[in-house]
Amino acid sequence: MNEFYQLDVNKVYDYVQQELNFFHEDADIECSEIGDGNLNLVFRVKDKKHNKSVIVKQSLPYVRCVGEDWPLSIGRSEIESKLLEIEYKLTNGKVPEVYKFDQIMYSTIMEDLTNYVIMRTGLLEYNHYPKFVDQITDFIVNTLILTSDVVMEHKEKKAYVKEFINPQLCEITEDLVYSEPFFDAKRNNISDYMIPFMEKNVWNDKVLILEVTKLKFDFMNNAQALLHGDLHTGSIFINQDNIKVIDPEFAFYGPIAYDIGALIANLIMNYLSTDVRCNDTELKNKHMTYLLDTIKDVMDVFRDKCIKIWPEVVKDNMVLRSPDFAKYYIDDIFVNTAGVAGCEMIRRTVGLAHVADLDGIEDETKREEARKLNVLLAKEFIMKRNEILEGKDFVNLIKNFCGKK
Amino acid sequence: MNEFYQLDVNKVYDYVQQELNFFHEDADIECSEIGDGNLNLVFRVKDKKHNKSVIVKQSLPYVRCVGEDWPLSIGRSEIESKLLEIEYKLTNGKVPEVYKFDQIMYSTIMEDLTNYVIMRTGLLEYNHYPKFVDQITDFIVNTLILTSDVVMEHKEKKAYVKEFINPQLCEITEDLVYSEPFFDAKRNNISDYMIPFMEKNVWNDKVLILEVTKLKFDFMNNAQALLHGDLHTGSIFINQDNIKVIDPEFAFYGPIAYDIGALIANLIMNYLSTDVRCNDTELKNKHMTYLLDTIKDVMDVFRDKCIKIWPEVVKDNMVLRSPDFAKYYIDDIFVNTAGVAGCEMIRRTVGLAHVADLDGIEDETKREEARKLNVLLAKEFIMKRNEILEGKDFVNLIKNFCGKK
């Protein structure tokens, strides 16, 4: 019982009972493996009779989608469970509640989120979420600004930095987001027609490569706030009333822009995808307008909320004396958010891990066009990021580039 | 024997023998306390008969110059001994050799540096050191560039970042260098005549305060390289042939500019000091020219050496593909070096810890003038740092500001 073993649908109920004694004696139990992630086993254990359920997530010591050739520290599950506990408090429950983390099994038993869908899936079905902007900006402000040196006692912040040093997971991002998509790397998942296109527009563009390298170094060196580390639309469970952010195993102290940029990039890719996938003009226009409004509002509401809470939360004794520091700090986040969004868009097109928004475009010609447009728009975000300081700057760049009004 | 006790001149010989059995049986031992530092006890144990000696440095659990009211983790001695061992290898012996670090006593037994003087003292006596520029730029390149993400495998670098998280010592710098000198703080060591001067020129200058706050956040967040953390002329033992850099207990992963800026600031303060202290015009001109040449050469030789080793040492797969990244990276170091130098100059004038270069000016009027000039020149370095990209930019700013040609 005190040794690691790999869970499966036959073992997971006994495991949960032994750890938590969660279910009634007369429970009608159903266990299923629900994970589609690349790094972990994820199970739902459900008592159908009393409608009670938990999620069990176990890290495996390698990257699951690749196999045992790519070993990966299972210590990441400890980072994930610790971060969930911190963010649960900071956000008043906008992440799953952790019931138990088991250091021997590298397993987390946590709240089952029923009646939610993955936001990426919901957006691909043209659903809209009226509370999303307010809730995700609360999440960003509360998890990022509140864990920065603006607010935290600096020694306590450094203890967090130390606790969340996450070398292997950061390496995945450094390689798959900030490096390999920018040359002809073996692990890239790239269609043949994209190779000459990437050579011409990205791989041989030395100015672009320089800018991406700057962004990579910002990612590696700028210990600004306690990031989720993978905050795309596939990491957000959503419905009409609420969001729950999941899967923070990439957590570490990094640039705030990394979390926001990943989110914005994935909204943009849904926009480009909708434009070529949706055959109902009215629905298409409505959804694309919704996405642009969402992008604009996420950025502007984020800024507004930062400015609003700033006087209440600032503790650093120099920031307190520097009324203009807030604008400098937030401007810097905006600029780098645009840069991160560009890197994320490119890596999701030609890197190892793609998104359904682009790969799911059925028409081959349209898929190729969308991929190329996505890369060219991404370049604009990276190269023009210094001019992107408001929500409308994001939207105008997208609209102008895509030839819309 | 397995408990911490405070060393003194009567106990330190037995301690060394018990730990290392360093001295001959017939040794003629002389023990002396030689520390003038604020944080530690430092002893020399010398066998006069065989001319062998060691230094024993013990951390105390509080700031020595203030007393037990200011507790300080004695774990810093472990950081210091680890850093000395790393830098000894990286620099081919430009720091004292560590013979033994004792985790119970928080003591390091290390090489005794005979025939060296503290560089600050040497410069105040108008001595010149022909090998200094070459040796200190080697030191800077080897300890800083080689521990950055440009060169180090990124996971190994993160392990170093974690090992050298140094909250209490960083807090001292955050407070004493980047905060308290910029307002009327209780711990400031400030002459009455400086108070209205600082109010007018620094404390009420909101643009300056903003720029210092940016520099403070760079210090707190930019985990660029493994710094010495206190690389001023009082941390360098020197003679005509060699340098040895001592006292790295402030070591942590921070901005490269912090180490270089502290050094440049202390050379500048020696320049301003010489101008008002030295009554021999020829000697004065010669020494001031020597200092300006040294400042210029440290910066330019540093850049040249970076450019030279870059192709041999770069490992990051994006830096390898970005020929212009070196210039971007070094320019950024120059700009921030100027900014750091400005902060160091101000804190050494009105903050808690002063320097002999300024405080040792005997004539009161001249001391006041030098202090004021130092603060105003420091402001220029902070405010104009974006224009400082070559050694001559440092020198021209100093010369123009001091009305010299």
List pLDDT tens digits, range A1-15.
578 899 999 999 999
pLDDT score of A331 more than 60: yes
pLDDT at B64: 64
Range from A44-58, A72-86, A306-320 carrying the lowest mean pLDDT? A72-86
**Helix-helix angle B76-90:B167-176, to 10 degrees:** 90
Q: Do B223 and A223 touch (CB under 8 A)?
A: yes
- Chain A contact set for B161 (CB, 8 A): 161, 165
- Contact present, A341 and A178 (Cβ < 8 Å): no
Question: In sequence order, which residues have a C-beta less than 8 Å from that of residue B85 and are 6 or more positions away?
Answer: B98
- Contact present, B388 and B346 (Cβ < 8 Å): no
Q: What are phi and psi of B81, to 5 degrees?
A: -70, -35
| Separation in Å, CA A250 to CA A80, A92, A105 | 8, 21, 19
CA atoms of B85 and B81, how far apart (whole Å): 6
Buried b (16+ CB within 10 A) or exposed e, A386-397: eebbebebbbeb
- Chain A contact set for B167 (CB, 8 A): 154-155, 158-159
Angle at A79 between CA A77 and CA A80, to 5 degrees: 60
Max Cα distance, chain A (Å): 66
**Helix-helix angle B364-383:B206-221, to 10 degrees:** 70
Provide DSSP, A219-276: HHHB--EEE-S--SGGGEEE-SS-EEE---TT-EEE-HHHHHHHHHHHHHHHHHHHHH
Instruction: Calculate mean pLDDT across residues A356-375.
Output: 97
With CA atoms as reference, the chain B residue closest to A202 would be B321
Q: Do B154 and A161 touch (CB under 8 A)?
A: no
| Separation in Å, CA B39 to CA A64, A224, B67, B247, B381 | 51, 30, 10, 10, 30
Which of A217, A253, A256 should be substituted to probe chain B, the one whose Cβ sees the most B Cβ atoms within 10 Å?
A217
pLDDT at B74: 74
- Contact present, B227 and B254 (Cβ < 8 Å): yes
Q: Do A168 and B174 touch (CB under 8 A)?
A: no
Q: What are phi and psi of B331, to 5 degrees?
A: -55, -45
- Chain A contact set for B178 (CB, 8 A): 318
Instruction: Calculate mean pLDDT across residues A372-398.
Output: 98
Instruction: Calculate mean pLDDT across residues A326-341.
Output: 98
Query: Helix, strand or coil for residue A190?
Result: coil
CA atoms of B288 and A362, how far apart (whole Å): 74
pLDDT score of A349 more than 80: yes
Compare CB distances from B221 to A167, A209, A222 and report the shortest one's residue: A222
What's the mean pLDDT when you consider all of chain A?
A: 95
CA atoms of A319 and B173, how far apart (whole Å): 16
Instruction: Calculate mean pLDDT across residues A155-160.
Output: 98
pLDDT at B405: 40
Give the residue numbers in B contacting A (CB under 8 Å), as ranges: 149, 154-155, 158-159, 161-162, 165-168, 170-171, 174, 178-179, 182-183, 206, 209-210, 212-214, 216-217, 220-224, 316-319, 321-325, 328-329
Q: Tell me, rounded to whole angstroms, the distance of Cα A261 from its chain centroid.
A: 9
Give the residue numbers in A contacting B (CB under 8 Å), as ranges: 149, 154-155, 158-159, 161-162, 165-168, 170-171, 174, 178-179, 182-183, 206, 209-210, 212-214, 216-217, 220-224, 316-319, 321-325, 328-329
- Chain B contact set for A174 (CB, 8 A): 154
The H or E element spanning position B214 is helix B206-221
pLDDT at A268: 98
pLDDT at B1: 54
pLDDT at A405: 39
pLDDT at A68: 67
Give the distance from residue A223's alpha carbon to the nearest chain B alpha carbon, in angstroms.
Answer: 5
Compare CB distances from B322 to A166, A209, A324 and report the shortest one's residue: A209
- Contact present, B210 and A322 (Cβ < 8 Å): yes
Instruction: Calculate mean pLDDT across residues A194-201.
Output: 98
- Contact present, A301 and A134 (Cβ < 8 Å): yes
Give the distance from residue A238's alpha carbon to the nearest chain B alpha carbon, in angstroms.
Answer: 33
pTM of the model: 0.96
**Helix-helix angle A206-221:A364-383, to 10 degrees:** 70
- Chain A contact set for B317 (CB, 8 A): 179, 183
- Contact present, B154 and A167 (Cβ < 8 Å): yes
Which of A145, A227, A317 should be substituted to probe chain B, the one whose Cβ sees the most B Cβ atoms within 10 Å?
A317
Give the distance from residue A92's alpha carbon to the nearest chain B alpha carbon, in angstroms.
Answer: 27
List pLDDT tens digits, range A212-243.
999 999 999 999 999 999 999 999 999 999 99
Instruction: Calculate mean pLDDT across residues A71-89.
Output: 89
Q: What are phi and psi of A296, to 5 degrees?
A: -60, -45
Q: Do A210 and B328 touch (CB under 8 A)?
A: yes
Q: For chain B, which ranges sit under pLDDT 50? A: 405
pLDDT score of A395 more than 50: yes
With CA atoms as reference, the chain B residue closest to A216 would be B318
- ipTM, interface predicted TM-score of the complex: 0.96
List pLDDT tens digits, range B231-283.
999 999 999 999 999 999 999 999 999 999 999 999 999 999 999 999 999 99
pLDDT score of A64 more than 70: no
